Structure 1
Amino acid sequence: MCKSYLSEIEFIAMIKIPGPKAIRIVNAFKKIAYDSTFTYPLVIKTGKGCEIEDVDGNRFLDFTSNIGSCPVGYSHPKILEVIKKYSNTEIGIHKIAGQDFYCEEHLDIASKLLSISKKNSKVFFINSGAEAVENAIKIAYRKMGPLPGVSCDNDFHGRTLGALSFTRSEEVQKTNFPELPVMRIKFCTVDSDLQIDQLEYILKEHRIAFIITETIQGEGGLNVASKLFIQNIRKLANEYDVPLIFDEVQSGMGRTGKWWAYQHYRVEPDIMTVAKALQVGATVYDKKYDPNETGVLSSTWGGGSRIDMAIGSMIIDIITKNRLLSNSLRIGEMLKKYLVDLIGVNGLIDVSGIGLMIGLEFGTKRTRDNIVQTFFKKRLL
């Protein structure tokens, strides 16, 4: 068995990365489609557990969890059961106009999502994280009027035009695009930061529509907000009666060891955005912010397909029944301990994050990019 296993490893190591099929597909794609944000020439064929297999037979260990969208791994048997159920021709309609027709899957995922969210809330389903943010700010504007919103430096809230106004991650995402009125504050990671009261100065001088932030920044660098910073934002939002929006698109659904990253701060939002691991986009909001007018929020494909909703519902069940929240904390702490010991090696200068939402910081962008590509060649994503 050992010899057979070694032979397989040796054979896999001989396959060029990227392989000929991947190169052909990538080159053909680039000729007819926008190249977007592809990090490596990886053409996925299938996946199981934490592994992805490409079209050339190369297997990769995926540390990204499909960019945060596969919280229970690939080809989980319970997820496959759901997919198999909906492949039954008797079901017929896989995708419905979700804001024009009701379906049982809509009720099921709504009930389960609200059971793990802030009490006295309602939910609006949409397709993606950016759209969840768009509807979160619409809910706030409806209540407060067309006033500026406040977001944090290095926050990422999506690339659609409204959400993009409050994104402050990479300049290429924003150049020459118009913005909604926005004021920005520093994202403070230590309680002693001298700019931790920046929001208070803004609120004393200006009326605003909402405050939106991540508690753990994703694309912005896996920066973890200080407890005083987040608690101070909540306190000021209460004091000035301003809705507080927490973006949980990447940090939510158990990745940090709690259902929502904000729960590490013992505060709650007025509005929350969810997507990625849920399989569909969702805007969860306190009932006091309910627009109470038909048609304020709507989308033909809101909620995605019935399969997506059923899978999202099953993911909540799997995380709950298998106690994956505590597992995320335990494994995350173990992994961080080993990674911290590597600081100083190959340009690594910091390790940050909570649970299994962990980031590595390198001294220069060039070093980071070289590390990412080296890992890819070694079949690590």
Structure 2
Amino acid sequence: MERFAIFIIVVLLVSAVFLILAFISGLSKGVDSASFFVLLSLSITLAAVATLGLNFYCFLHTSGEDLMMFDLDLNLKANNVNIELPVNSKLTKRNKKKEVDQFPLFSFSSVSTATNRFSDANKLGEGGFGPVYKGVLRKGNEIAVKRLSGRSGQGLREMKNEASVIAKVQHKNLVRLLGCCIDKDEKILIYEYMPNKSLDFFLFNLKASNILLDKDMNPKISDFGMARICGGNELQANTSRIVGTYGYMSPEYAIEGIFSIKFDVFSFGVLLLEIVSGKKNTGFYRTDTLNLLGYAWDLWRSNRTLELTDAILEDEYSSKQVLLRYVNIALLCVQESADDRPTTNDVVSMLTNEAAALLPPKQPAFSYVRNTVTSTSSTGKTEDCSINQVTISLLEAR
């Protein structure tokens, strides 16, 4: 790039010299008009070439050598793919009348180089949609590279969801999508890098891995667009394809495939219980009979809620009422019936307004009990039954 810049400067200097000579020749009586126009034309041509080269250099210098702008709509249609990707804001300003959507596209070679050929040393983790790698561009910019797995069943449709939703919903608590890469069977999404990993790194490897933390420990949500998305005017939808992590999905979605605006409220309630207790959602506590939701509900009913809270949080908060309030809000979010759960706006209001009164929660979903019965013979039987009639399973040894 430095040699290219020097070349442009030399061309500009040469064109300036020819332009000066052209004017001097035009003023001289001993030079004919033909020589004057030849020198003038040559100087103008060199100046134009130098100007175009300078603009191209500035574009590369601003956007970075690794980041290449392509018309994805035409590129995808060439491969018989019917998909639209979001309009890039910078490109829209340059050509507002253009109807074809455009989006930053990284070349596969640049992504491969940035991640050291997707080496294990650069691997940050792996989720249901594929592995995520740390990458470093030539300018030193750090990126996170999500390489969508073909086995995950996530195709261009899910990639379109991720790109279009995040591009349209710019928010400080959403991981910023920088671009993507489409190369043969490769489907890759490029994000801003979160140096403090995910919340599960600080919470005993919980399923809080979709909440990433930046250098200032600000939380940002990833995989925001990968899940099924309801339309803007839909309060609920039905799907035969269940996408999510068990233990965080509401019962109506996990069992019946009903997706509503109360789905995320349930997930948030589980996460809030995990944060307050410092315990995993999966597993059993106390006498090995209850899961986290059932454990919290049992302590709540017996007025022993503070036994649930993490000792570290008790040291941080002088008022026990704050912790009790958080548990109350969490239990309201994980109630079995979606109609009983608060809306997202209600949850925000309850968290930010400590004076707001809270309703007593009803029994949460999936709060099941495990009983083990051993007969007098050598045959044992373990019975799982749900106290809210959601989960019933029987296991018998032969």
Which interval holds the TM-score relative to the shorter structure?
A: under 0.3
Provide the TM-score with structure 1 as the length reference.
0.20
Larger radius of gyration: 2
Provide the TM-score with structure 2 as the length reference.
0.19
